[in-house]
C-alpha cells in the first residue's frame, strides 16, 4: 500500500469515528490516544535506520509529506540533538511534530544576519502543531560561552495560521522568536533572549510560558521582551501573555513598538525585579503613544510595581482585558478546542 493510500485510509477511519461519535452525541467518548495512533506516523532518530526510524533528519521527514496534504500526519522525533535548519513549506499543512521532551529533543543551528533567512525553524504552513522540542540559534547562545557580537539570529519564524506549540523552547539572544503572522498559541513554552526576543505581527496567546531574560551581556543596558508589529488600528493582531513568568538576568523593558499600533498585554503574570520601573519604551512612536496598546492587568512580583510606569500605559476594564485573554481571541472557529488529540498528554 502506498503512503498516500495509508494517509487516506487513516483519514477515513478518523472520519468514521467522528461520525459515530456525533451520531451518539454526548454518549460517545472518543479515546484521543487511540485516535492519534490512527494517524500515519513518520519516525526520526539521530541514527536513522539504526535507531529503527524512517529518517535521521527532521527535514527529510517533512520533505516526505505530500504537497497540499489534507490529513494530519505525525512526525515523531526521538530524543537527541539535530543539527539542522528546518523549513515547513506553506504547501504542507496538517503536520504534527512530536518530540520526546522540551530538553530532550533539540534542534540547533547557528545562522545570523537577515531575519528572513536565519531561523532554525521556519514554519510557513497553516495547521501546524509542534510539541516537546527545543529550537536554538547557537550564534549568540549560550551567552556564557559566546564571543560573537549580538545580532539578529532567530530560533523560530512562524508565519502560518492556526499554529500551536506545546512545551517547546526557543533559545537565542536578539530576535529569538519571529511571531510574524496568523493565529498562534504557545502553551507551557520557554522563550529566552535579550533584545526584542519575541517580535512580529502575530495574533498570539502565550499561556503559562517562561519568559527568560538574558540581558546581562548588554552591560547594563536594558533589553526588550516584546516588539509587536500591529501596523493599523483595524488590525486584530497582538501579543497576549497570560499566566506567564518573567525572570532572568540583567534588566529589561516589557516591550517597545515595532509598528505604530503595537499591542502587548501582560495578564496575571509574575514579574521578577529585572523589569525596569518604566515598564515600556515608546521607541519610534514617541509623540504617538496614544496609538499603542500596552497594558498590564493583575500582574504580581517586584517587577509588577506600577508606581514608576510610563504615564501613557493603558488601563483597561476587566471586560476589555477578558476580550483579549479569552481563547476566542485566537480560536473563534475552534481550531484549538476541536483538535482531535490532547496535546498535553
Contact 217, 194 (CB under 8 A): yes
- In 3D space, the residue among 259, 241, 296 whose CA is nearest the CA of residue 181 turns out to be 259
**Whole-angstrom distance, CA of residue 146 vs CA of residue 140:** 6
Give the active site residue among 161, 179, 196, 331: 196
Q: Going by C-beta distance under 8 Å and a sequence separation of 6 or more, which residues neighbour residue 274? A: 213, 215, 246, 247, 248, 249, 250, 251, 252, 303
Task: Name the residue with cell 523552547.
Answer: 169
In what helix (H) or strand (E) does residue 276 lie, and over which residues does it extend? none
Can 196 be counted among the known catalytic residues?
Answer: yes
**Whole-angstrom distance, CA of residue 250 vs CA of residue 252:** 7
One-character DSSP codes across 92-116:
--SEEEE-S-TTTEEEEE---S-TT
- In 3D space, the residue among 36, 40, 78, 38 whose CA is nearest the CA of residue 58 turns out to be 78
- Cis amide leading into 96 (omega within 30): no
**Whole-angstrom distance, CA of residue 206 vs CA of residue 199:** 13
- In 3D space, the residue among 103, 110, 55 whose CA is nearest the CA of residue 77 turns out to be 55
Strand-pairing partners, residue 246, are 211, 271
Compute CA 46 distance to the chain's CA centroid, rounded to the nearest angstrom: 24
Sheet holding 238-242, edge to edge: 41-44, 73-77, 95-98, 128-131, 163-166, 183-187, 203-207, 238-242, 263-267, 293-297
Compute, in degrees rounded to 10, the torsion defined by CA atoms 52, 136, 154, 264: 110
Strands 128-131 vs 86-88: parallel, antiparallel or unpaired: unpaired
Dig out the grid coordinates for 56 from the structure. 535521521
* Residues forming the active site: 196
Amino acid at each position: 500500500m502506498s503512503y498516500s493510500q495509508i494517509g487516506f485510509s487513516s483519514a477515513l477511519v478518523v472520519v468514521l469515528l467522528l461520525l459515530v461519535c456525533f451520531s451518539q452525541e454526548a454518549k460517545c467518548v472518543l479515546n484521543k490516544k487511540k485516535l492519534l495512533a490512527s494517524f500515519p506516523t513518520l519516525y526520526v532518530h539521530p541514527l536513522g535506520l539504526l535507531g529503527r526510524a524512517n529518517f535521521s533528519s527532521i527535514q527529510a521527514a517533512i520533505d516526505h509529506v505530500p504537497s497540499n496534504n489534507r490529513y494530519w500526519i505525525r512526525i515523531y522525533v526521538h530524543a537527541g540533538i539535530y543539527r539542522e535548519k528546518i523549513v515547513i513549506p506553506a504547501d504542507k499543512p496538517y503536520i504534527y511534530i512530536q518530540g520526546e521532551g522540551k530538553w530532550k529533543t533539540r534542534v540547533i543551528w547557528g545562522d545570523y544576519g537577515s531575519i528572513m533567512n536565519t531561523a532554525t525553524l521556519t514554519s510557513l504552513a497553516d495547521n501546524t502543531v509542534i510539541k516537546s522540542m527545543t529550537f536554538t540559534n547557537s550564534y549568540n547562545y549560550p551567552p556564557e560561552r559566546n564571543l560573537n557580537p549580538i545580532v539578529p539570529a532567530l530560533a523560530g519564524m512562524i508565519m502560518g495560521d492556526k499554529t500551536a506549540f506545546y512545551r517547546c523552547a526557543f533559545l537565542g539572544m536578539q530576535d529569538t522568536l519571529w511571531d510574524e503572522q496568523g493565529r498562534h498559541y504557545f502553551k507551557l513554552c520557554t522563550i529566552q533572549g535579550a533584545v526584542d526576543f519575541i517580535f512580529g505581527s502575530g495574533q498570539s496567546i502565550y499561556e503559562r510560558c517562561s519568559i527568560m531574560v538574558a540581558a546581562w551581556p548588554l552591560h547594563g543596558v536594558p533589553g526588550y521582551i516584546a516588539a509587536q508589529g500591529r501596523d493599523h488600528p483595524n488590525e486584530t493582531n497582538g501579543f497576549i501573555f497570560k499566566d506567564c513568568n518573567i525572570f532572568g538576568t540583567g534588566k529589561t523593558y516589557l516591550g517597545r513598538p515595532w509598528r505604530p499600533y503595537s499591542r502587548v498585554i501582560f495578564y496575571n503574570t509574575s514579574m521578577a525585579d529585572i523589569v525596569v520601573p518604566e515598564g515600556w519604551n515608546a521607541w519610534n512612536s514617541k509623540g504617538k503613544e496614544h496609538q499603542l496598546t500596552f497594558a498590564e492587568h493583575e500582574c504580581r512580583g517586584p517587577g509588577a510595581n506600577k508606581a514608576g510606569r510610563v504615564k501613557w500605559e493603558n488601563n483597561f476594564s476587566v471586560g476589555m482585558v477578558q476580550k483579549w485573554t479569552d481563547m476566542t481571541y485566537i480560536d473563534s472557529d475552534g481550531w484549538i478546542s476541536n483538535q482531535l488529540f490532547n496535546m498535553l498528554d
